[in-house]
Copies of this chain bind each other. A is one copy, B any other.
Amino acid sequence: MIRTAFFVSGRTAITAEILGHSLITQFDDVNFRRIVLPFIDTEEKALQAVAQIKAQAEADQCRPVVFSTFISENLRKLFVMDEALTLDFFETFIGPLEKELERQSSHTAGKVHAISNFEEYKHRIDAVNFATTHDDGGMAKNLQDADVILVGVSRSGKTPTCLYLALQYGIKAANYPFTPEDFADHRLPKPLHPFRNKLIGITIEPQRLSQIRQSRKPDSQYAQLSTCEQEVKLAESLMQHERIPFLNTTRLSIEELSTTIMLKAGLKRRCY
């Protein structure tokens, strides 16, 4: 079964997409064609979007589902039609909140993913700079500024997690790889010694690691399953020995890893 889902908003439509995506993934056997319509901020653009939705309904011979986040009631109203099921997020929730807080909402569009203030923006950019300059053991001398330091074998997923923590939370995350030389004497790499309390380990199933390394360096010794098994085993035993808490990334997305790291390290986000 194929249905069309539209994500429509006066601004980025990111919130509409996240909301709609979280709902439609609950219907496994429905195949959704997804169409994002951001920056629908005038009546003209709204009427165009409505025409597109109606044309899709006609083509599909089936009602599209429209997920929207309109602050403007005038624009929102235009998307109520027989040809589609429209679920508007603000319409549903702003009312109960206004009642609870005993005040009117500001009805200002695009607050969520707009630049809120320069301070927050700076936190975010500084954290991204920090993550890129402290990637893969780089600039080990400045690790005292890190909020958290991820350790683990090469290709276990440290870099994307650090970048996610920087972009989404404004958290300064460094990462430091464990290389076979580090395991030799069963001790933490020296630059990490002063920062034990900031370390969080990332581990991964050897099979998955081999698969990832394979696509990076095909048929290398580095990608061989036996190499991966050996490295992961030594890395885990080092982390246990040094009492570094560690997470297994094999069944966790970058989001799940990041959320868990925030929780384990007791970190608070610096930007929204």
Residues of A within 8 A of B (CB): 3, 11-15, 18-19, 21-30, 36, 38-39, 63, 65, 69, 71, 85, 87, 89-90, 92-94, 96-97, 100-101, 103, 105-108, 110-116, 118, 121-122, 124-126, 128-129, 132, 135, 157, 159-160, 163-164, 167, 211-212, 215-216, 251-256, 259-260, 262-263, 272
- Which residue on chain B has the smallest CB distance to residue A114? B253
Residues of B within 8 A of A124 (CB): 160, 254
Rounded to whole angstroms, the CA-CA distance of A3 and B21 in the bound complex is 29
Pairs of residues from A and B, 10 with the lowest C-beta to C-beta distance, nearest first: A113-B255, A26-B105, A25-B111, A12-B259, A22-B112, A85-B100, A115-B253, A128-B160, A15-B22, A38-B259
Chain B nearest CB: distance from A166 CB in Å? 8
**In the complex this chain forms, how many copies of it are found?**
2
- Which residue on chain B has the smallest CB distance to residue A87? B93
Chain B nearest CB: distance from A103 CB in Å? 7
A21-B112 in contact (CB<8A): yes
- Which residue on chain B has the smallest CB distance to residue A92? B92
B159-A114 in contact (CB<8A): no
A65-B256 in contact (CB<8A): no
Residues of B within 8 A of A251 (CB): 115
Residues of B within 8 A of A116 (CB): 25
Of the A-B pairs whose beta carbons lie under 8 Å apart in the complex, a sample of 26, sorted by A's number, is A12-B255, A18-B18, A22-B112, A23-B97, A24-B97, A26-B71, A26-B90, A26-B107, A26-B108, A26-B111, A27-B101, A36-B262, A39-B263, A85-B96, A110-B256, A113-B253, A113-B255, A113-B259, A115-B251, A115-B252, A122-B212, A125-B160, A126-B215, A129-B216, A163-B167, A164-B167
Given that A106-B28, A255-B12 are contacting pairs, would A19 and B89 also be in contact in the complex, using a CB cutoff of 8 Å?
A: yes
- Which residue on chain B has the smallest CB distance to residue A255? B113
- Which residue on chain B has the smallest CB distance to residue A160? B128
Given that A12-B255, A22-B89 are contacting pairs, would A3 and B101 also be in contact in the complex, using a CB cutoff of 8 Å?
A: yes
A23-B160 in contact (CB<8A): no
Q: Which residue of B12, B27, B110, B253 is within 8 Å of A103 (Cβ)?
A: B27
A105-B27 in contact (CB<8A): yes
- Which residue on chain B has the smallest CB distance to residue A252? B115
Q: Which of A26, A112, A157, A262 has the most CB of B within 10 A?
A: A26
Rounded to whole angstroms, the CA-CA distance of A38 and B260 in the bound complex is 8
B94-A26 in contact (CB<8A): yes
Rounded to whole angstroms, the CA-CA distance of A16 and B252 in the bound complex is 19
